[in-house]
Structure 1
Amino acid sequence: MPLLKLEDTYLHKGKRKALVREIKQKGISDERVLEAINTLPRHFFFDSALVSHAYEDKAFPIGEGQTISQPYTVAFQTQLLDVKPGQKILEIGTGSGYQASILHLMGAEVYTIEYQKKLFEGTKKFLNRLGITDMKLFYGDGSQGLASHAPFDRILVTAGAPVVPDALIDQLVPGGILVIPVGDRSRQKMLKITKQKGGKYTSEEYDYFAFVPLLGKDGWR
């Protein structure tokens, strides 16, 4: 994880505004999502060797075979979630903590689970350093959700899954939303799944994306 001085300069703020304009032009319209991305210093989540690239609309490696997602992808998934303040949200794949911090800024009660232990430990320390101490971080198999803290209003999966895990749908409240990329290891189609009463659900399909693989029992092994 980064060992940077946590400084947010006028230059950084200007680059964030330019990034927000860029992703808005690509179709992101939720003003609360755009405001969160404009507020959160993405460069804090970068290793010092890559920090100059923090406001490019690209994914970058963060170690342990994982990446910090492209800002447009973060915005797209968050927009599909339709986040409301106070909602209980489970994120599968903590990674750098950037996506979870966006949800936190939007007023959600965030639970997040990471499969890679070294990444989990580093990100937990880093978020504490940022002063984000009320987020609930867990180490474990996110493909199984987090049954001990279910149900959730929203579930967001930030890794490519081969299938939609039944456990995740089971852990949604009626009316809850699951956003998950599903496909093969090279590309996945973004799905928005809305749970109905009685356990049934509807599914909407969106664009193709490329995520690192979801690992675990119902992921890639």
Structure 2
Amino acid sequence: MMLQCHTLRAPCQGSFAPALRIPQLASRLARHQRPVRAQAAAVTAPVLPFRVGHGFDLHRLAEGYKLVIGGIEIPHTKGCEAHSDGDVLLHTITDAILGALCLPDIGQLFPDTDPKWKGARSDIFLNESVRLMEERGYTLGNIDCTIIAQKPKLSPHKETIRHNLCRLLKADESVVNIKAKTHEKVDSIGEERSIACHAVVMLLRKEYLQWSLS
């Protein structure tokens, strides 16, 4: 059985990619005759210089609800059916950040069976994911979001949504991208019965970012 131990050291000459030392432990196991399980326990996961996460969410659209996207209320005849305010964009981004950190998803951290989240603003969920990101030593590298809705047309609202999202994420506008697509009248989204969103996020380890800029 071959075991490998990954050890990171700081990048040199402004390079962002970490150098890896990967010593082989098989000979040590044979020499010291220690149990494999004890050696494996000593192998620790590396502190990654960056992490990538993906988020997805979909909500039914129905009359009698407000349509909130990215913390902005969008004028429309329908809104998202949800336990909270149904903000499909903020839910997606929250899940993307949690996914990058290998943490439980939004449904586990903020279950819709808990009455305290009834009608809650989704920026509460996003703020918690940002807090967890910073607590673990990461900052936002960039994020790319795609909102999928047949109606309403979101192009007139994209910049307003993006500005508010930058505020919530504590991020520069140069690293936050918002795209809006229709679904070509196909399935529940195209038939205006639902709205969906995808997001991909990259988180950067703060000290690696500092080294790369020095």
TM-score range normalised by the length of the shorter chain:
under 0.3
Question: Which of the pair has more CA radius of gyration?
Answer: 2
Higher-RCO chain (CA-CA 8 Å, sequence separation at least 6): 2
